[in-house]
Amino acid sequence: MSLNEYFDAAILELKKGTSQKKHPFRYFTLASLQPNTGIGIRPEVLRKVEENLDLIFYTDKRSAKIEEIKIHPRVSGLFYHPKKLLQLKIVGQANAIEDSATLKTYWNGVPTKARKDYTTNLAPGTPITDEQAVDFLENENHFVMVRIQVNEIELVQLQRPEHMRIRFQITNGKWNGTRLVP
């Protein structure tokens, strides 16, 4: 397989992550720079892969990661496909989508049950007592979308006789791959 074929196959899998409920690329681990501990890390659901390969996920605008990416937009995302033994590590700049019309359109597409993820009365991460119930807002939400402008995708394909590791970087809108020692 050529480097380009590895790239195309990887992107196809990434897109499946947004359309197939059980696909392992539905989830990725997002790493960011946390101002106090230095490390911010958590799983996210991949919602959309845009034409230019920007990635979109949804969150609550009060969550720690939103503050973190405001200060340090550079993030990394890790995808792992256990059956295919395929790892994709993406690197890019993350920013919250502020446009209210866009947010409204996508909010309208969030199923009623899932809306609770963006409507807690208190901000995510607020300490509460063991007995305290989590209250939800009725007519407002803190839904936000985050776009990751991806500029690097590193692929590791475990296989015999030789593993494959390729770093793809985008320059002037074109992705170029460099093979690396695995």
Ligand X SMILES: Cc1cc2nc3c(=O)[nH]c(=O)nc-3n(C[C@H](O)[C@H](O)[C@H](O)COP(=O)(O)O)c2cc1C
CB atoms within 10 A of CB 145: 20
**CB-neighbour burial class of residue 153 (10 A; exposed 0-12, middle 13-18, buried 19+):** buried
* Cα atoms in the Cβ-side hemisphere of radius 13 Å centred on 165: 5
Residues between 67 and 86 that touch ligand X (CB under 6 A) = none
Q: Coil, strand, or helix at residue 91?
A: strand
Considering only residues 28 through 47, tell me which ones interact with ligand X, judged by CB under 6 A: 40, 42-45
By CB under 6 A, residue 125 contacts ligand X = yes
- How far apart (Å, rounded) are the C-alpha atoms in residues 78 and 105? 28
Q: Select the residue interacting with ligand X from 27, 80, 106, 107 (CB under 6 A).
A: 27
Stretch binding ligand X (CB under 6 A), from 59-67, 129-137, 155-163, 165-173: 59-67
Stretch that binds ligand X, among 58-66, 94-102, 108-116, 127-135 (CB under 6 A): 58-66
Q: Which residues of the chain form contacts with ligand X (CB under 6 A)?
A: 27, 40, 42-45, 57-60, 63-65, 124-125
